[in-house]
Amino acid sequence: MSEKRQLQILAVLLWAQCLFVGSTFRTLPIVCGFSAVITLLILGSRPLQSKPRTTTRRRWWTTPLACLGFLANFAIVAQWRAASQLSEEINYVYLVIDSLAHTSFTFAFLLWLRRPTHGHPSMIPFGCIVALMSCAAGGASSSLTAQSAIALTICLGFILGCEVILRNKHGFGVVSTEPVSERPSSNWIAPTFSLFVLSALMIGTSGVANSTNMILPAIQSKLQEELQTSFNALAEESYVGGTRYVRGSELGSLRKHMLGDPAEVAVQAYCQIPPGYLRGTVFDRYFRGRWIDSGSFEFERYTRQPRIPDLPIRSTGVGTTGLYETLPEPLNRFELFDDQPGQIIPVEVFSDPSKGSLIFTPLNTYWIDASSEEISYTAHGVIRTGIDVRRPYVAGVGQRLPAAPLQPAIQESTLQVPEQLSLKLRDYGNKLVTAESSTVEIAQSVSEHFQSVYGYSLTSKLDRPRRSDPIEFFLDNQHDAHCEYFASATVLLLRSLGVHARYVTGYVVDEMTEEDSSLWVGRNRDAHAWAEAYDEESQQWFPVESTPGRTYRTIEPEQLNLNAADADGNLLEDQSGLDDGWFQNVIDWAASVRVSEPIVILFRISQIPLFIGLTAYLWKRHRRSKQPEAKAEVRAKRMLRKVDRLMARMELYRAPSETLCHFADRVGQAADSERLGVPQQQVLTRCASWYRSYAAARYQGLTPEPLSK
């Protein structure tokens, strides 16, 4: 391989890393500028000429100096990346991932500047770190096809990098003193076989991706639950209380989340009025101070019963909602209910990918625009998987609560009450309501009772016995508590009175930012739990707020000018007030496009044509080889390749421009070496003679005889 070709391969691999890092962490202009400067320095000041490889003694201080340089580079990059984060509180896990990816990327380019044609072995682990950190930050997309394409591309890049850096420069796999390029090669076999293998890999990878699309959401959901279980165990320490989105399945975990890092921004939303209560998780099974979702894998672990499957929803088209943030491609529309209200208010939600993949929407959401092809919708009206949270998604909020018949699968779970609490809860609830009360009146009575009799506090002065149920102890002692206890007690009391109810956690997003009156934020301290009850007469779920000092608030379109939005959620006035022009739009698109998108396009388009073309090419060569005059040619070439492989095992390689007679002379000279044993000398002598007879037979148009054993 020539040095020019090696330089080109290293340039392609490093620039691919540049695009991957820049598109993942939204630093594409800066990293491309840095890469362009290094590339120009290499092309302008480094002459491409072969230099003999010399053995020099390594100085002991080079490795420690390189490590210190890497740490210094990491410190500078970390300071830059920390200053670029707009949130008040820095997520240190994400900062380390971001800084490590950029540091490895810059160090790889600096090593390329030092060794432009042969590279350095450290560039291989640096490339792996760049790929791992970018994928950890979401650079490979949530699409299985995109993930498969990125994985295949990284594998091929790793193979090419090893070929250039390790083999050509450092002699891995080459023992002979001859140049590596002096080997027998064919003009078509190697590239054809490589393209054929690549095509087969692309088709096989695509087939695996398409065949597992049905089970991937379940696998992702199970993995997320296992990760959340680990984080809940770590949340006993307050310093990690704000690193993940709140779920609140275990009583007390929501309180720790609020106290762990109260001021950190958890979720942001663009809306003309405060979005209010945004639902993240819904639970329907209570078990010893812990809430469980009957649609999760955790439900099977605790109850030994099959979980309630989620409902897959396909996109119905392209969303038409105007966005506050410019995206390279429009979002897809997912209709959650068939009966659409007359007026829809859009809520554009921004999540933090480093905190998890929870989707936050109001209760009366009728449709959602998101970057996805299919979403997984639970029986309790929340989206479990399928949405790319690295991009904003828009919830279409209606002016009334959606009507949804109560599914038979959740009728029993939303009335479940622990046996040891059922009698006490029934007696407690009968004192609050009358037999003639409707569902709404029962819920209102329970809510007013807690808000008027109980007090709110994040700390409890009473020590609960270790084996007692927390809700039972809460009702017996009427002690001050936080929202988890009020919401849990409300759900269990409503169920004991025959009302279907469920436990909901999320965030109350009602804090306006100083920069934009349409941007609202919810912080860790705004995490909240509340109840939802089902009215069988209207077939609607409605919220029940029992926490003292709290009032349920959601988007009510009548608060806005009726001309502010149409039925599709399109704002009729310009939201941004700016017209950047076509040039700025092109720049925004170039800065926001993800590196996985063109790879996926190439991945999909080139599979079948490449495979068909290679198959036709090989079939044509096979037809030619069946002709009588071609059979003798094929037989002669096979003899030559067999003897060439024998010589390669003895560290002798024939250069492409070297004649057979010259190579036979070189083999004969090697046979006279005193370092070889008698059997090896005999083999080399016999092979040298065979090369001469083979060349003579081919010159006369005869079929040569095979090498005798």
Query: Got the DSSP string for 470-511?
Result: HHHHHHHHT--B-HHHHHHHHHHHHHHTT--EEEEEEEEE-E
Residue 151 pLDDT class (50, 70, 90 cuts):
low
Task: Specify the amino acid at residue 538.
Answer: S
pLDDT of residue 281: 92
Contact in structure between 565 and 343 (CB atoms under 8 Å) = yes
How confident is the model over 68-123, as pLDDT tens digits?
A: 888 888 888 888 887 765 444 455 667 788 888 899 989 889 888 888 887 888 88
CA distance 409 to 298: 17
Q: Tell me what the pLDDT averaged over the chain comes to.
A: 77
The answer on pLDDT for 56 being more than 50 is no
* β 285-286/344-350 pair status: unpaired
3-state helix, strand, coil in the chain (%, to 5): 50, 15, 40
Indicate the angle between helix axes 581-592 and 28-45, nearest 10 degrees: 80
Query: Got the DSSP string for 591-640?
Result: HH--THHHHHHHHHHSHHHHHHHHHHHHHHHHHHHTSHHHHHHHHHHHHH
Q: Which two tokens stand for residue 629?
A: 């005059």
CA distance 520 to 551: 18
The answer on pLDDT for 587 being more than 60 is no
Contact in structure between 571 and 322 (CB atoms under 8 Å) = yes
Contact in structure between 503 and 545 (CB atoms under 8 Å) = no
Three-state secondary structure call for residue 342: coil
More confident residue, 523 or 168: 523
- Identify the DSSP state of 163: I
Indicate the angle between helix axes 144-162 and 3-25, nearest 10 degrees: 150
Residue 579 pLDDT class (50, 70, 90 cuts):
very low
Terminal C-alpha separation, the chain: 34
Residue 399 pLDDT class (50, 70, 90 cuts):
confident
Long-range contacts of 206-214 (CB under 8 A, 24+ apart): 206/145, 206/148, 206/603, 206/604, 206/607, 208/148, 209/144, 209/145, 209/147, 209/148, 210/145, 212/144, 213/144, 213/374
CA distance 142 to 209: 12
Residue 628 pLDDT class (50, 70, 90 cuts):
low
Detail the DSSP E strand segments found in 317-437: 317-318, 332-335, 344-350, 365-370, 374-377, 383-385, 393-398
The answer on pLDDT for 576 being more than 50 is no
* β 511-512/285-286 pair status: unpaired
CA distance 380 to 533: 12
Closest CA to 383 of 217, 539, 258: 217
Residue 495 pLDDT class (50, 70, 90 cuts):
very high
How confident is the model over 300-336, as pLDDT tens digits?
A: 666 777 788 888 898 888 888 777 777 767 889 999 9
Residue 533 pLDDT class (50, 70, 90 cuts):
very high
Q: What is the mean pLDDT of residues 403-419?
A: 88
More confident residue, 611 or 600: 611
The answer on pLDDT for 146 being more than 50 is yes
Q: What is the mean pLDDT of residues 53-71?
A: 68
Burial class (CB in 10 A: 0-12, 13-18, 19+), 46: middle
For residue 631, the tally of other CB atoms under 10 A from its CB is: 12
Residue 365 pLDDT class (50, 70, 90 cuts):
very high
pLDDT of residue 194: 57
Q: What is the 3-state secondary structure (H, E, C) of 164-203?
A: HHHHHHHCCCCCCCCCCCCCCCCCCHHHHHHHHHHHHHHH
Residue 20 pLDDT class (50, 70, 90 cuts):
confident
CA distance 507 to 167: 56
CA distance 277 to 506: 7
Closest CA to 107 of 121, 94, 95: 121
Three-state secondary structure call for residue 376: strand
* Strand order through the sheet with 276-283: 276-283, 501-509, 527-535, 540-544
Of 57-61, 383-387, 388-392, the one with minimum mean pLDDT is 57-61
Q: What is the mean pLDDT of residues 171-195?
A: 45
List CB contacts of 386: < 8 A, sequence separation 6 or more.
142, 217, 370, 372, 373, 374, 375, 376
Farthest CA pair distance, the chain: 113
Q: What is the mean pLDDT of residues 656-671?
A: 88
**CA 156 → CA 137, 149, 197, 199, 390, distances in Å?**
22, 11, 11, 12, 27
Q: What is the mean pLDDT of residues 426-455?
A: 90
What is the torsional sign of CA 366, 334, 340, 512? positive
Contact in structure between 241 and 259 (CB atoms under 8 Å) = yes
Q: Please give the angle made by the CA atoms of 510, 512 and 513, to the nearest 5 degrees.
A: 140
The answer on pLDDT for 36 being more than 80 is yes
CA distance 360 to 349: 8
pLDDT of residue 439: 92
Residue with tokens 């971001």: 98
Q: What is the mean pLDDT of residues 634-641?
A: 85
Contact in structure between 526 and 511 (CB atoms under 8 Å) = yes
* β 365-370/291-292 pair status: unpaired
Burial class (CB in 10 A: 0-12, 13-18, 19+), 526: buried
pLDDT of residue 499: 94
How confident is the model over 213-253, as pLDDT tens digits?
A: 545 555 555 555 555 454 444 444 433 445 578 777 788 88
**CA 158 → CA 4, 255, 552, distances in Å?**
19, 46, 54
Contact in structure between 330 and 322 (CB atoms under 8 Å) = no
The answer on pLDDT for 35 being more than 70 is yes
Task: Specify the amino acid at residue 1.
Answer: M
The answer on pLDDT for 137 being more than 80 is no
pLDDT of residue 150: 63
Q: What is the mean pLDDT of residues 276-280?
A: 94
Of 94-103, 302-311, 414-423, 696-705, the one with minimum mean pLDDT is 302-311
Mean pLDDT: which of 77-86, 652-661, 686-695 is highest? 686-695
The answer on pLDDT for 254 being more than 70 is yes
Mean pLDDT: which of 113-122, 545-554, 581-590, 620-629 is highest? 545-554
Mean pLDDT: which of 24-33, 39-48, 211-220, 393-402 is highest? 393-402
Burial letters 267-299, b for 16+ CB under 10 A, else e: bbbbbbbbbbbbbbbbbbbbeebbbbbbbbebb
Q: Which two tokens stand for residue 183?
A: 């080997």
pLDDT of residue 159: 72
Contact in structure between 401 and 540 (CB atoms under 8 Å) = yes
